[in-house]
Structure 1
Amino acid sequence: MNYASELKKFVTSQYIYSGTRIALAVVIPSIILAYLGLLKEFFLFPLGTLFLALTDSTGPFHRRRNALIVASGFYFFVSLIAGLLKDFPPLIFLEIIIFGMFFTMLGVYGQRLAAVGSLTLVVLAIFIDGAPGAHSAFYNALVFTLGGIWFILVFMLVTVIKPYKLAEQMIGENYIELGNYLKLKAHFYHSKPDFDVLYKQIFALQVRIKEHQEATREVVFKTRQIVRESTSTSRLLIQLFLNSLDLYEILLTSTNDYRKLQNTFGNKNILEKIHNYLNLLSNELVHIGISIQGGLKTTPITDISAELHALHEEYYQLRNQHLNAETLEDFMILRQIMHRISAISEETQKIYLLKSQDIKLAKSLSTGLDLEKFVQKDEKLNSKVFLENFSIKSNHFRHAVRITTALLVGYAISKIEIFHIQKTFWILITILAIMRPAYSITKHRNILRLYGTIGGAAAGLFVIYFITNPLTQFVIFLICLVLTFSLLKDKYAWSVFFMTIYIFLMFNFLKPEDFSELFMERLIDTAIAGVIVFLVSYLVLPVWEHQKNRTFMLNYILANHKYLNNIIEILQQKHIPIQDYKISRKHAVVSLANLSDNFQKMLSDPKGQQKNLENVHQFVTTSHLFTAYSASLSQYAQKNTVYREIDFENWKNKINAELSRTIAILQKQEIKKDDFAESKLTPEDLVNELLEKRKEEITENEFYDRRDPKNISHLTELKNIRELLELIYNQARDQRKIAEKVTD
């Protein structure tokens, strides 16, 4: 592992940037209040800052601003009501029911409001037994809300000073993920690769890339400063993001029959050379990503052209030694791989050129696309949508019932005297932090929360008992605060670890006490909450991933059906607007990632709920291959070359017939009779005749040592196109057979 590169990625990332901003927004007023001797009196002020900051998730400026304003209003209302009802236990249970259902149901309006609703319930948990101090409910609610308003001001100020920072960091992270993806691809060319493990890692990373691309697309295309302002920076960022999407498509095209490739060339040095070169390109993409995140100019780490030339020479030398009529088709496959590697190299060099060009030249950049069509339109909050989801059929409603039930059970247990629970809010907060709509995610977070709490509590005790210098403790507190929010998204266990340390230090600053009791209380409360969450998630209106299989499979087929048809129609010289093609590509990749994500979650469900697991696994595998082969075919569609030797019309009808049959099966409809006949069509290609002629020429020693890396023979292209169409048809046929086996 390159530790220097990993450190640069983290230091320049949006996570450390966000974590530092939150920490400073909390600490600066705390220091001022402590200096004035008012910190204990106004402890709720920095706490309000902290909790409002947690609602600030990635996205366009106006959405983030609106969410913060809405959240601050919710915080004031809930904290006020909770403070007024704290002495009336029966009303507290009613309060939990009403607020639990309402704020969890906000998830029907998307992830942003789901987060706002969830954190509003955390605020309820904090105030449910009354805030510390002897002040009135209104006073406490007001101080807490003012702390949140302080964060809104910080957010606005930082956004004005650095309007493009978030977009830079997200685009940079996109390139880093592509670099990681290419590194995984490189392992297929290494000696004795573990194909099953690699495919599993590839599938998981594709889900991650899809999620990040969707978030980045929203930020880039919906941020006014980037889309509407004709600044050099905005145009450059848009172009860098679009290039990353094109590069991802090229990386998808690099899918091959790796087992066959290893059997054919595994004993030759060429595959290891390819492996090393792809690793080199992977490092370049990560380097580009870090430079974009940091807003820095950059140059290539190595001479890409020289390394690519050396790799091509290795290929030509091998070809000259072993090419004959028998190995012709094998070398055609290898030649195609070399061509794709060249395409990745050229795209990487193009990105370097784009990144380093004179800022004045960036003004001429134009995508030629209607960018608004690449993101979902903002929808107004519709009360009808909210009310319609109050149904047992709604996953949002079922999740709201589970959350509310868990909170009621948690609160009831905290009031049983034999447990001697002093801080009710810890159980409730832990329930809200762990429980998620999907059982698999809830189960995973439950385990991570326990690990993080145990480790953090032990580390917190060590710091308090053995590092007694107040200034040193404060520095550790600040570091833990930054790391908590920096690691919250990707390293949840570590985030909880540092969170537990800073909570212990915070209590130590405010009210030193016997921390051995605090240690045990924290662990016991976490364990109780974990058991509650597990039982409620399993028993109360559970939603299992197998129930969504058909929906995700159908969405995948529909999206990739359109994507493939666009590609074939372009190859037929039909006019398909580039914008329509790119939108269909986006939907194809997103639907594939959603299908994969559904399968990954299904693996964490109880064994009894993993229905159709083997069939779904096969469908996911064939889907990845189908999309990859379609993406490979798209590279020829972009060349504007005529391939009359391929019978595209019959290939399209043949593949569409299988896809139509699969759609009918998944929708439980009757299959059209024409689909049976068309799926058996035999396209009238001329490739085999041309291939036999070429073999005869080679046998008669008519072989020429042409060494033009950018030139690939028309016959090689024809053979590869025909093979891709055959592979796409085979995957479509296999998907139809698998769909027939899937039951509800």
Structure 2
Amino acid sequence: MNYTSELKKFATSQALFSGMRVALAVVIPSIILAYFGLLKEYFLFPLATSFVGLTDQIGPYIRRRNTLIFAITNFILVAAIASLLKDYTVFIYLEIIIFGIIYSMFGVYGQRLSVVGGISLVIFSVFVDGHLSGDDILKSILIFSAGCFWFLFIFLVVSKLQPYKLASQLIGENYIQLAEYLRLRAQFYKVGVEAENKISEVISQLSIIKTLQEDTREVLFKTRKIVDEATNQSRMLMLMFLTSIDFYEKLITTNTDFKKLQENFSETGILTDIHDHLLYLAEEVENVGIALQSGNKISPNININIHLEKVYQKYFQLRNANLNETNLEKYLSLRLVMMRIKEMNDEVKIIQKKWSQNEKIEKNISKNFDVLKFLPQEEKINFKIFAQNFSLKSSHFRHAIRLTVAMLLGYAISKFEFLGIGHSYWILITIIAIIRPAYSITKHRNLLRIYGTFAGALLAYLILHFVGNNTVLLTILFSSMILCFSLLKTKYAWAVFFMTIYIFISFNFLNPGNVNVIFKDRLVDTTIAGVLVFLVSLFIFPIWEEALNKPLMEICLKENLNYYKVVMENLLQNTEKAENYKLKRRDAIISLANLSDNFQRMLSDPKNHQERLEYVHQFVNTSHLALGYTASLSQFSDATKLFSKIDFNQWNIKILQQFAEIEEIFKNEEDSPQNSAILEKPKNHLESLLKIRKNEIEENEFFDKRDISKISMLAELNNITELLELLSEVLAEQKRISISYCKLL
């Protein structure tokens, strides 16, 4: 691991920038209040600021601003109600039921409002027993409200001062994740690596890129200042994002039969050279991403053209020394691999050039397609949608019930005097933070919470025991707060670790010398909450991932078919429908990512809810291969004009029939067809061309052609035929998997 590069990525990332903004918004007023000896009295001010800061999710400016205003309204309302009713036990339980159900159901409107609902419940937990609000309720609510509006003010100021910062960081993150994807693809060329063992990692990375691209599209295309392209900077950002999409397309269309490639060339050294060159390309792409995040221009670290020439020299030497009539097909396949690597190399050079250029960019850069079609769909606030989900068929409603039951039990246990719990609201907050709609995610998050809390508590205890200098403690507090807010979305265990540290130090400033009590309460409360969450998630209307497998598999199959149809339509008719093609490709990738995510979550479910796990895994892998081969076919848009030797119509009939048979298996799972009509093998006119070429080689009519920018039509013909054969073989395997899966339903 390159630690310097990792540090640069984190130091320039949107996560750190966001974390620092929240931390500064909390720490600056805290320092001022502490200076005047008012921090303990006005502690609710920075606390409210941190709560509002946590609701600021990635998105366009207007949506973020409106969400913050909506969040503040709910936070003040919940704080006021909880404070007024804190002395009435019956009403507290009633509040838990009402607030628990309503705010948990905010998830029906998407992740943004789901966070608002969760933080609203945390605020209820803070105010429910009056520990922090005290007896002067009006004063406490006013202080809390001021802290809420303080973060809104910070957000408005920073957004005006740096209107392009978020977009630039997100686009940079796109390049960084594409570099990671390229590194994973490079592993396929590593000698001795089984490609099948790396597919899960590749699909997981596709899921990350898919989510990131959706976030970036929303920020870019729904930010008026950027879409209107009023400045060269806004047009540059749009250009770099669209270029990242083009590069992404190049990456997913570099599929071949890696198993055969390993068998044929693992001992020649050429695969190692290809692997190393792809890593060089990944490093350069990552540098572009870091530069975008920081807003700096770049100069290449490595001359990738020189290294590419060395790889090609190795290839030409190998070909000239070993090519004969018996291994022609092998070298034709390798030639296509070399050509695709050159295309990626050229694309990286284009990316570097675009980000380094200073000239003005054309104004209509994003006007050649309908951007609205590519934006993620988000539910609008509509009470009808909310009401429709009040059913046990709704995963949101089942989650709301589980959370509410856990909160009721947690609050009841916190009132047991013999336990001596001093910070009862920590139980409720931990329950809200851990529990999630899916059992698998809840289980994983529960473990991370426990690991982070216990490790953080131990370190915080040692810090407070041995460090007495307030300046040092404040530095540790501030650093821990930044790291906590920065890692909360990506490294939850580490975020909890740093959160525990800054909570301990904060409470020590408020109540010096009370560290033993805080240490005991934090560990006891986390343990109680963890056990409650585990039991409730296991027994109260659980949602098992296996129930989602079949519909997700069917969706994945359908989207792969739709994508294949668009690609084949282009091959057969040479129709240029780039927008439709990209939409179908996006839908296919999203459906594959959803199925893969479901499989990964299923691994955390109890063993008795992991039936057919092997077949789901195989279906995911074959779906990825089918998607990859289809994407690779899309490169040959004028194939029927240039390559009449391939029987595209017969191949299309065969592959469409294979898709239809798999669909039929899922529709008629109880009577899955064991055999189907014998599919006629498409005529292979390529064999005659190969025979001619083999005769030329046998008769020593071989020419040492070293133009790396050109490739023979025979090599492309061979590649197209190979891709069609591979796609058909994968669908045949997927049919077998589907029959076995449906037999066990």
The one-letter code matched in structure 2 to 1:321 is A
Alpha-carbon contact 2:196-2:621 (below 8 Å) kept? no
Does residue 737 of structure 1 match 2:698?
no
1:185 is matched with which residue? 185
Aligned-partner Cα distance in 2 for 1:233–1:104: 41
Kept after mapping to 2: 8 A contact 1:48/1:148 = yes
Partner of 1:722: 721
Shift of 1:367: 5.6
Distance, in Å, in 2 between the alignment partners of 1:149 and 1:543 is: 38
- The percent identity for this pair of structures is 48
Aligned to 1:601: 601
| Residue matched to 1:268 | 268
Stretch of structure 1 that moved more, 396-405 or 137-146: 137-146
Distance in structure 2 (CA, Å) of the matches to 1:669 and 1:484:
48
- Paired letter, 1:711: K
Query: Hey, what does 2:48 align to over in structure 1?
Result: 48
How many Å apart are 1:114 and its aligned residue? 0.7
Is residue 108–residue 386 contact of structure 2 (8 Å, CA) maintained in 1? yes
Of 255-264 and 626-635, the range deviating more from structure 2: 255-264
CA–CA separation in structure 2 for the residues paired with 1:144 and 1:685? 75
Partner of 2:64: 64
Higher mean displacement: 534-543 or 485-494: 485-494
CA distance in 1, matches of 2:691, 2:396: 61
Q: Residues of 1 paired with 2:129 and 2:410: CA distance?
A: 13
CA deviation digits over 1:341-393, x for unaligned, max 9? 01111111111111111142354745612212111355531111111111111
User: Is the alpha carbon distance of 1:645 and 1:639 closer, same or farther for their aligned partners in structure 2, counting shifts above 3 Å?
Assistant: closer
Matched, 1:308 2:313: no
> Which whole-Å CA distance do the structure 2 matches of 1:624 and 1:259 have between them?
15
Shift in Å, 1:57: 1.1
Pairing 1:455–2:442 present = no
User: Aligned residue for 2:97?
Assistant: 97
Structure 2 counterpart SS, 1:572: helix
- Write the letter of the residue equivalent to 1:156: L
| Code of the aligned partner of 2:524 | I
Aligned position for 1:402: 402
Instruction: State the aligned residue count.
Output: 742
- How many angstroms apart in 2 are the aligned matches of 1:140 and 1:664? 64
Q: What amino acid sits opposite 1:322 in the alignment?
A: N
Q: Is contact 1:434-1:449 (8 Å) kept?
A: yes
1:474 aligns with 2:501: no
Which residue number corresponds to residue 662 of structure 2?
662
1:708-719 paired onto structure 2 within 5 Å: 708-719=707-718
Match of 1:691 in 2: 690
Residues 287-302 of structure 1: pairs in structure 2 closer than 5 A: 287-302=287-302
**Letter of the structure 1 residue corresponding to residue 94 of structure 2:** L
RMSD (Å), alpha carbons: 2.0
Contact 1:41 1:133 in 2 (8 A): no
State the 1:167 CA deviation.
1.1
CA-to-partner distance for each residue in 1:202-222, whole Å, 9 max, x for gaps? 232222222222222222222
Indicate yes or no: 2:671 matched with 1:701: no
Evaluate the alpha carbon distance shift between residue 683 and residue 73 of structure 1 in structure 2; reply closer, same or farther with a 3 A threshold: same
Q: In 2, Cα distance between the equivalents of 1:92 and 1:641? A: 74
Deviations 1:92-122 (A, max 9, x none): 1111011000000110111111111011101
Measured after TM superposition, the shift of residue 231 of structure 1 is 2.3
TM-score by length of 1: 0.96
Deviations 1:470-489 (A, max 9, x none): 11111111111100011111
- Confirm or deny that 1:422 pairs with 2:434: no
Pairwise CA distance, 1:448: 1.0
Q: Distance in 2 between matches of 1:546 and 1:98?
A: 31
- Following superposition, the deviation at residue 508 of structure 1 comes to 1.0
Q: CA 1:502–1:312 in 2, change beyond 3 Å: closer, same or farther?
A: same
Q: 1:379 to 1:494 in 2, by over 3 A?
A: closer
Aligned-residue offset at 1:317: 0.6
- Match in the other structure for 1:38: 38
Q: Give 5+ residue unaligned stretches, structure 1.
A: none
TM value normalised by structure 2: 0.96
CA shift, 1:560, in A, is 1.6
641 and 43 in structure 1: CA distance in 2 versus 1, 3 angstrom threshold: farther
Whether the 8 Å contact between 2:126 and 2:132 is mirrored in structure 1 is no
2:33, 2:42 within 8 Å by CA — same for their partners in 1?
yes
Which deviates further from its counterpart, 392-401 or 135-144?
A: 135-144
Counterpart residue identity of residue 421, structure 1: I
Residues 162 and 273 of structure 1: CA distance in aligned 2, closer, same or farther (over 3 Å): same
Amino acid at match of 1:448: L
CA distance 1:718–1:639, change in 2 (3 Å): closer
Which residue of the partner structure matches residue 651 of structure 1? 651
* CA distance in 2: counterparts of 1:361 and 1:215, whole angstroms: 24
Tell me the equivalent position of 1:12.
12
Are the aligned partners of 1:461 and 1:519 in contact in 2 as well (CA < 8 Å)?
A: yes
- Checking the alignment, whether the CA contact within 8 Å between 2:333 and 2:718 is kept in structure 1 is no
Residue of structure 2 equivalent to 1:504: 504
For the 8 Å contact 1:57–1:112, the answer to whether it is kept is: yes
Query: Quick one: structure 1 residues 542 and 622, their matched pair in 2 at CA, closer, same or farther if it must change by over 3 Å?
Result: same
Deviation at 1:197, TM superposition (A): 4.1
- Counterpart check, 1:280 vs 2:311: no
- Give the match's secondary structure for 2:170: helix
Give the C-alpha shift of residue 638 in structure 1.
7.3
The C-alpha deviation readout for 1:418-473, integer Å capped at 9, x for no partner, is 21111111011111111111111111111111111111111111221211111111
1:375 matches 2:375: yes
3-state DSSP of counterpart to 2:635? helix
CA distance in 2, matches of 1:244, 1:713: 29
For 2:444, the equivalent position in structure 1 comes to 444
Which amino acid counterpart does residue 189 of structure 2 have in structure 1? Y
Question: Hey, what's the Cα distance between the residues in 2 that align with 1:653 and 1:218?
Answer: 39
Equivalent pair of 1:459/1:501 in contact (CA under 8 Å): yes
1:50-73: CA deviation from partner (whole Å, max 9, x where unpaired): 001001111111111111111101
The separation in 2 between residues aligned to 1:339 and 1:671, in whole angstroms, is 46
Query: In the aligned structure 2, how far is the partner of 1:377 from the partner of 1:526?
Result: 37
3-state SS of the aligned residue for 2:634? helix
1:361 alignment partner, SS class: coil
What pairs with 1:514-593 in structure 2 (closer than 5 Å)? 514-593=514-593
Distance in 1 between the 2:337 and 2:96 partners?
60
CA shift for structure 1 position 272:
1.2
Amino acid at match of 1:192: G
Runs (5+) with no aligned partner, structure 2: none
Q: Compare 684-693 and 466-475 and name the one that shifted more.
A: 684-693
Secondary structure of the 2:642 match is coil
Q: Does the CA contact (< 8 Å) of 1:231 and 1:363 recur in 2?
A: no
The whole-number CA distance in structure 1 between the counterparts of 2:517 and 2:84 is 30
Distance in structure 2 (CA, Å) of the matches to 1:8 and 1:419 = 47
- 2:318 corresponds in structure 1 to 318
Paired AA for residue 207 in structure 1 = S
Alignment correspondent of 2:158: 158
Alpha-carbon distance in 1 for matches of 2:692, 2:741: 46
- Report which stretch shifted further, 527-536 or 416-425: 416-425
Greater CA drift, 444-453 or 355-364 = 355-364
> How has the CA–CA distance of structure 1 residues 34 and 359 changed in structure 2, closer, same or farther, with 3 Å as cutoff?
farther
Q: Once the 2 structures are TM-superposed, how far is the Cα of residue 187 of structure 1 from its aligned partner?
A: 2.2
C-alpha displacement of 1:687: 1.4
User: What SS does the corresponding residue of 1:628 show, helix, strand or coil?
Assistant: helix
